[in-house]
Chains A and B, each alone.
Chain A
């Protein structure tokens, strides 16, 4: 199989950012920024919980009672990101951030900004926005246009590296 449509671009990387957990936002933003530094064309498609860090801190999301309640239980924003293990009501996440700071590891929100400065495409998932009631004006500036699964897949099909984090 080597027809034109199946050819992959060795200089492309696509990350599906699904989790939104603090400890997974680090590899997402570290790999995205480093790949951009290596001269690669990088896209991060943020979907489901992965979309939550892209919402500005303090924004209230939800378009009806149920989704507003869900937004309250799982508030958006980088500052609210939980640890996938040992979160313990946010204490684990807070400790992890302190350990990172002590060791000069940049917080993921700063690595995210640096990634965008370096030209990484940040694609919000349109379906997640509609499903959970997240408006474009509630999200950080500098993101790409919201897109759907087919657009993300078309990009993955041509990327030598595709990751689901």
Chain B
């Protein structure tokens, strides 16, 4: 995986916080940079990919381990 410029730790947060935190972090990234989002809210499983497609960013990889979801997103 490429260098992660920023990590968003939204574990323990519920809807809509994981998306709001992700959007805030995206504003602080340069185009092309990658951020890692960690979440435990069940809604985030579909919400983070939905946010990515709505905002025209790119979901590079997603996974889940020990109850924590991870999303690698590249800012466009």
Contacts and interface: CB of A to CB of B under 8 A. Distances in A.
A37 B14 contact: no
A96 interface: no
Contacts of B17: 104, 106
A153 interface: no
Interface stretch (B18-26, B29-37, B59-67): B18-26
Most A-side CB within 10 Å, residue of B14, B20, B51, B55: B20
Contacts of B23: 36-38, 118
A94 B15 CA distance: 20
B55 A39 contact: yes
Contact of A34 (B12, B13, B16, B24): B16
B12 A104 contact: yes
Interface string A1-35: 00000000000000000000000000000100110
A64 B19 CA distance: 45
A38 B54 CA distance: 6
A147 to B, nearest CB: 26
Contact of B19 (A34, A103, A104, A106): A34
A30 B55 contact: no
Interface residues of A, number: 14
A105 interface: yes
Contacts of A36: 23
Interface string A26-66: 00001001101111000000000000000000000000000
Interface in B33-76: 51, 54-55
A104 B50 CA distance: 22
Contacts of A37: 16, 19-20, 22-24, 51
A150 B17 CA distance: 34
A165 interface: no
A152 interface: no
A114 interface: yes
Interface of A: 30, 33-34, 36-39, 103-106, 111, 114, 118
Given A30-B16, A104-B17, A111-B16, 12 more contacts: A33-B16, A34-B20, A36-B23, A37-B16, A37-B20, A37-B22, A37-B23, A38-B23, A38-B55, A39-B55, A103-B14, A104-B14
